[in-house]
Structure 1
Amino acid sequence: MFIGHKESHTLPLKLKAIADAGFDAIELSMPDILAYGNMLHGREPDPKDYNTLVEIGKAVKKQAEEHKLKILMLQPFANFEGWPKGSSARKDAFERAEGWIRIMEAVGTDMLQVGSSDAPGISSSIDDLAADLAELADMCAAKGFRIAYENWCWATHAPSWKDVWRIVEKANRSNLGLCLDTFQSGGGEWADPTTKSGLVEGISREELETRWKQSLAELSRTIPPEKIYLLQISDAYKMDPPIEAKENEEGLRPRGQWSHDYRPLPYDGGYLPVQDFLKAVLETGFRGWLSIEVFDGKGPDKYSDMLGFSQKAMSSLLKLLGQ
């Protein structure tokens, strides 16, 4: 769960709030490691100073153990796959992978989340993308680690669950599976932040609903439950006015902009078919980790403290499962 919005919301306090609300685990993000490093040493470490990050990771592990929280995975590992052979970008991607694997060892997690790349200039070949994921999976397997590959709905070549599943199947590694996400699928296939309706347009509403139901039925039918490593859960606000249908100044595509700031808890102002997607995932037979992954720019105005937010997150999850 993503929590905290003030400088005073330090990692130890975040962990206490999450544990007190009844959660069993956290997803550890690189920004949290950097912020904790800043707290410990008075300056934020270089994201590629892996010796320092490993030491910070060991301190994070102790904090998590104090609160009896498992570190489910390290994330988000981005823009890894598809770079041209021999390019400096490809060299950097594999150097980052080696560094992140060291951090995984330090924090005591066995899973790395990889988001489907949104970089321009990468290969569109499923063979190339799968080969890179297979190579990364082999690097992780040497340490007993797994990769949870997630479709990011603004990705360059793999924005849907079906795309990442094809890549995972092609890579064919026992330690390579999926991180599914209610926002990434509902916000990619059914909703659109650039339209006035908030929905994918160019087809009738009836056709949109039919295609969405067909996608969910296919997911339930085709993905083995053991290949789903976790399901991330969040909703999304309908954008009014809509986001402009172009990249922003940082080069982030509209759905990426939407993802960063407009993802509330279920039942807290969003409009995505979150329950539909959860039901489809459960119908595969999956009974694994459910994770609240919320990026809510309105959160600081809505939640006065981290414990209250954590408790609301737990209650929204229980309501979702109950329905």
Structure 2
Amino acid sequence: MSISMSDLQSLPLSYATCSIGCSPAHTLPKRLVAISDAGFQGIELAFPDIIDFGKSYLKYEVDSHDYDSLCTVAKAIKSLCHAQGLKIMMLQPFANFEGWEEGSMERKDAFERAEGWIRIMEAVGCDMLQVGSSDSPNEKIGTDRSRFVNDLRKLADMLAEKNFNLAYENWCWSTHAPTWLDVWEIVQAVDRPNIGLCLDTFQTAGYEWGDPTTSSGLLEDLSKDQIESRFRSSMKKLSQTVPKEKVYLLQISDAYKPPRPMSTEPDETGLRPRGRWSHDFRPLPFNGGYLPVVDVARAVLKTGFRGWFSYEVFDSGPDGNGTEYDLQAYAKRAMEAQQRLIWECSKG
């Protein structure tokens, strides 16, 4: 599949609301203005932003399971987006859904959350739900892939009743599906027309190429040449095996190499090192990172996919301790990064 620059100029562009803003003053309405002014056409609406905006809109703390209130807030956010000409492309991130033991409280909660989030999708006018591959301990969700497949099949069927879609993403710290191939195999097994992939430059390269626990910032089980050869083979396989219609979006971000290797142990919250890396060390492409972002994006484009490119960055600076920036300027830098990204992709 050839990639021409003219094809890429018309890609629909989105920005995740959770990944812009560096202070409480950067409220959701201000972030939406910055995203729109920079030329993005859509957003991924982050559930925590609904909760946070609800405090100011309803004048009280909104519980994450108070779906009546959350739907009221969602309708207000829909109006804000309409005023800025923004499509709400996806609700995210729906986490730790699949794999819980039958009859467990966790499984009951997972399906109750699913019902509630579907209500929010209706209220906000959104037709796609992002589901991240579970990162719960294996002793709780097990390793039997059929359990994950069955749960996702049920969720896809619930969404299908509303003509909604399920975008399944590999989180690189997941305990059962950390690679694009893992989630693709699961999506194939689910075998529903309304489930596809949420691919991500960080999540893909951050597992198959990078490693925040090493001094080099790279995987060290093989030589660098071997790692790069293996990564090229993986990207070639992605481009040749995933049908374009099964890619629902590509999320874009890079990664800083941490200033010192992260501990290989989970932190006090149970979050694994790649999860910690993901939360704080993800800049825009071409802004100090080191992952092969272009290689991932090019592989996805070679499937024939020409859908949403969506920016999801968590930039706390190279040291991970936080940074300050102007909202408008940062959103414009994201658009500049997108223009360079598609230029680089067109050269391959």
CA contact (8 A) 1:74 1:111 kept: yes
C-alpha distance in structure 1 between counterparts of 2:240 and 2:341, whole Å: 22
Question: SS where residue 290 of structure 1 aligns?
Answer: strand
Question: Which structure 1 residue ranges, 5 or more long, are not aligned?
Answer: none
Q: Percent identity, aligned pairs only?
A: 56
CA deviation profile, 1:288-313 (whole Å, cap 9, x unmatched)? 00001000112997653100000000
Which residue identity does 1:5 align to in structure 2? C
CA deviation profile, 1:246-265 (whole Å, cap 9, x unmatched)? 10011000000000000000
Q: How does 1:91-102 map to 2 (within 5 A)?
A: 91-102=108-119
Range with greater deviation from structure 2 (33-42 or 51-60): 33-42
CA contact (8 A) 1:247 1:254 kept: yes
Question: Which structure 2 residue ranges, 5 or more long, are not aligned?
Answer: 1-14
C-alpha distance in structure 2 between counterparts of 1:203 and 1:10, whole Å: 45
Which residue identity does 1:128 align to in structure 2? R
Range with greater deviation from structure 2 (200-209 or 180-189): 200-209
CA contact (8 A) 2:22 2:323 kept: no
C-alpha distance in structure 2 between counterparts of 1:43 and 1:211, whole Å: 52
Question: SS where residue 229 of structure 1 aligns?
Answer: strand
Which residue identity does 2:340 align to in structure 1? K
Map of 2:62 onto structure 1: 45
C-alpha distance in structure 2 between counterparts of 1:128 and 1:215, whole Å: 26
Cα shift at 1:122: 0.3
C-alpha distance in structure 1 between counterparts of 2:177 and 2:30, whole Å: 36
Which residue identity does 1:46 align to in structure 2? D
Q: Of the two structures, which has the highest relative contact order with CA contacts closer than 8 Å and spacing of 6 or more?
A: 2
C-alpha distance in structure 1 between counterparts of 2:314 and 2:55, whole Å: 22
CA deviation profile, 1:93-149 (whole Å, cap 9, x unmatched)? 000000000000000000000000001110311211111101000000000000000
Which residue identity does 2:99 align to in structure 1? G
C-alpha distance in structure 1 between counterparts of 2:22 and 2:229, whole Å: 39
Identify the match of residue 119 of structure 1 among 136, 160, 169: 136
CA contact (8 A) 2:211 2:274 kept: yes
Cα shift at 1:234: 0.2
CA deviation profile, 1:204-225 (whole Å, cap 9, x unmatched)? 1111111101100000010000
Map of 1:208 onto structure 2: 227
Identify the match of residue 80 of structure 1 among 86, 93, 97: 97
Q: How does 1:1-323 map to 2 (within 5 A)?
A: 1=15, 2-120=19-137, 121-298=140-317, 303-323=324-344
C-alpha distance in structure 2 between counterparts of 1:302 and 1:115, whole Å: 27
RMSD: 1.2
C-alpha distance in structure 1 between counterparts of 2:340 and 2:124, whole Å: 32
CA contact (8 A) 2:316 2:323 kept: no
CA contact (8 A) 2:96 2:132 kept: yes
Question: SS where residue 147 of structure 1 aligns?
Answer: strand
Aligned residues: 323
C-alpha distance in structure 2 between counterparts of 1:180 and 1:81, whole Å: 18
Cα shift at 1:11: 1.2
Which residue identity does 2:218 align to in structure 1? L
CA contact (8 A) 1:303 1:309 kept: no
Which residue identity does 1:190 align to in structure 2? W
C-alpha distance in structure 1 between counterparts of 2:322 and 2:265, whole Å: 28
Range with greater deviation from structure 2 (293-302 or 133-142): 293-302
Cα shift at 1:75: 0.2
C-alpha distance in structure 2 between counterparts of 1:248 and 1:304, whole Å: 28
Cα shift at 1:172: 0.1
CA deviation profile, 1:227-283 (whole Å, cap 9, x unmatched)? 000000000000121111110011000000000000000011100000000000000
C-alpha distance in structure 1 between counterparts of 2:294 and 2:255, whole Å: 13
Range with greater deviation from structure 2 (295-304 or 204-213): 295-304
Map of 2:8 onto structure 1: none
Which residue identity does 1:110 align to in structure 2? D
Range with greater deviation from structure 2 (299-308 or 15-24): 299-308
CA contact (8 A) 1:190 1:208 kept: yes
Question: SS where residue 206 of structure 1 aligns?
Answer: helix
